[in-house]
Amino acid sequence: MSALINFSMKNANGKYDNYTMSINDDVDKYGNNCAVTVSQSKAQREAKEKKVYVGNGRVAHVSDKGIAKAPYVDRSSSNAPQSSSTDFDDDIPFN
């Protein structure tokens, strides 16, 4: 892991939630090299409590040479099932 970034965001109730972003040197099979989790206290980390993941993504680096980002990995060649419109219920309002 190359970096940890701690930050806060204001929630809908007007209070602040604390998050941690970990930026890795390597990318996963989806091309992601960072993950955001809900921050843990020292006691939670020592107790090895499970992290609550908020999301993941790719970091873009901006320099005078342009924008460089983590490489994209095409998932269409994997054996993962592809969803289609027939996978959804007909009675949901946003179909």
For position 90, what pLDDT does the model report? Answer: 56
Secondary structure of residue 43 in the 3-state scheme? helix
Domain ranges across the chain: 3-75
Start-to-end CA span in the chain (Å):
41
pLDDT for 39 equals 95
Q: Which residues are registered as beta bridge partners of 56?
A: 35
Partnered with residue 16 across adjacent β-strands are: 10
pLDDT less than 70: residues of the chain: 1, 62, 66-95
Residue with tokens 């960072």: 34
The pLDDT, as a whole number, for residue 59 is 79
- pLDDT (0 to 100) of residue 15: 95
